[in-house]
């Protein structure tokens, strides 16, 4: 299909596959339109619904063009709030590359969404190696139907993603396609030593390496990432009010807003600003997270250095 080939070229030009070019073939083979039979496009005053069976051929063409453009698509709204989406394909590609899957790896995906990401993983690893879980039965039902229509049958489980999926453990990789305030302890506990966890945290992508006894440690990637929040995990307050009164240029800076989210509830905005400026305005890649002994904390440069903050549900060293 010409539209799919165009999307593949667009993602390739972004450099997303440079480290693992075999993912290009996967994206070439898995048809995104089967997973997004309709989506919502923002228009003044609300949303416009575009769908593949619209009787108007011009609107059908707009739907198809949108599906095969490198952009996220809003796929499910509830009371005007976005509850599910199909992520931007180039970001999905970067995350799959960073997951570093190998033949035979068992993967747990947190957040089934449309089923498209699970299909990409199933195409690469085989159905038996992939489990995707979501709290919303409507989402898992539609994801299962989309996957079957495309010829894939990974395990699709309705359940609380914060608890992982113990009945299908152990896993070699866990990837979250929804934002979390902190990484639930059940995730590394359900992994084999040496496993890899990738999750959106505080507008960044956190990559953890799992050790023994459910301990894990790792750093954030440079890549910014904005996802729908994981249902079942308490949401934090937005940072809009926190940046009030700060210089506009600072308040709009990506790396500062990331740090403000990461330190929310532990430092006030002025303290965060002072730290950010004192340390040379550090980017995401200088921060990391450590989990172990029932504690979970974020840190700057060194997990046992002077700058560490407990994440929700965890505590910092000595805390």
**Positions marked catalytic:** 84
Greatest distance between any 2 Cα atoms in the chain: 63
Please state whether beta strands 73-78 and 107-110 pair in parallel, antiparallel, or not at all (unpaired).
unpaired
Contact (Cβ atoms closer than 8 angstroms) between residue 50 and residue 36? no
Collapse the DSSP code of 42 into the 3-class scheme (helix H, G, I; strand E, B; otherwise coil) and give the result: strand
Task: Report d(CA 61, CA 161) in Å as an integer.
Answer: 36
Task: Report d(CA 205, CA 223) in Å as an integer.
Answer: 7
β-bridge partners, 82: 77
The long-range contacts involving 18-22, CB below 8 angstroms and separated by at least 24 positions, are 19/97, 20/96, 20/97, 20/100, 22/124
Task: Report d(CA 216, CA 211) in Å as an integer.
Answer: 6
Task: Report d(CA 204, CA 226) in Å as an integer.
Answer: 8
Residues 6+ apart with CB under 8 A from 13: none
Q: What is the DSSP letter of 34?
A: G
Q: What is the DSSP letter of 306?
A: S
CA dihedral 297→300→304→305, nearest 10 degrees, is -140
Task: Report d(CA 210, CA 164) in Å as an integer.
Answer: 15
Contact (Cβ atoms closer than 8 angstroms) between residue 108 and residue 171? yes
Distance, CA of 156 to chain centre: 18
| Omega before residue 48 within 30° of 0, cis | no
């Amino acid at each position: 299909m010409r539209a799919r080939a165009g999307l593949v070229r667009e993602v390739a030009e972004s450099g997303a596959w440079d480290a693992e070019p075999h993912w290009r073939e996967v994206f070439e083979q898995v048809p995104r339109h089967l997973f997004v039979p309709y989506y919502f496009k923002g228009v003044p005053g609300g949303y416009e619904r575009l769908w593949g069976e619209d009787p108007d051929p011009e609107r059908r063409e707009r739907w198809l063009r949108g599906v095969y453009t490198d952009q996220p698509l809003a796929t499910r709204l509830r009371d005007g709030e976005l509850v599910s989406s199909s992520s931007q394909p180039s970001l999905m590609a970067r995350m799959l590359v960073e997951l570093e899957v190998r033949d035979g790896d068992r993967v747990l995906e947190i957040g089934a969404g449309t089923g498209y990401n699970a299909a990409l993983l199933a195409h690469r690893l085989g159905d038996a190696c992939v489990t995707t879980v979501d709290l919303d039965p409507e989402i898992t039902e539609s994801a299962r139907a989309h996957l079957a229509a495309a010829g894939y049958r990974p395990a699709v489980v309705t359940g609380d993603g914060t608890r992982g999926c113990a009945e299908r453990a152990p896993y070699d990789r866990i990837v979250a396609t929804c934002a979390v305030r902190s990484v639930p302890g059940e995730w590394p506990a359900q992994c084999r030593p040496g496993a890899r966890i990738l999750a959106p945290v505080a507008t960044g992508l956190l990559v953890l390496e799992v050790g023994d006894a459910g301990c894990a440690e790792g750093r954030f990637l440079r890549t910014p990432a904005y996802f729908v929040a994981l249902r079942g995990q308490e949401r934090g307050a937005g940072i809009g009010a926190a940046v009030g009164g700060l210089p506009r240029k600072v308040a709009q800076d990506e790396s500062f807003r990331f740090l403000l989210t990461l330190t929310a509830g532990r430092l006030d905005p002025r303290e965060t600003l002072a730290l950010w400026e004192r340390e040379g305005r550090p980017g995401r890649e200088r921060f990391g997270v450590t989990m172990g002994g029932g504690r979970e904390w974020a840190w700057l440069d060194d997990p046992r250095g002077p700058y560490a903050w407990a994440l929700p549900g965890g505590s910092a060293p000595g805390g």
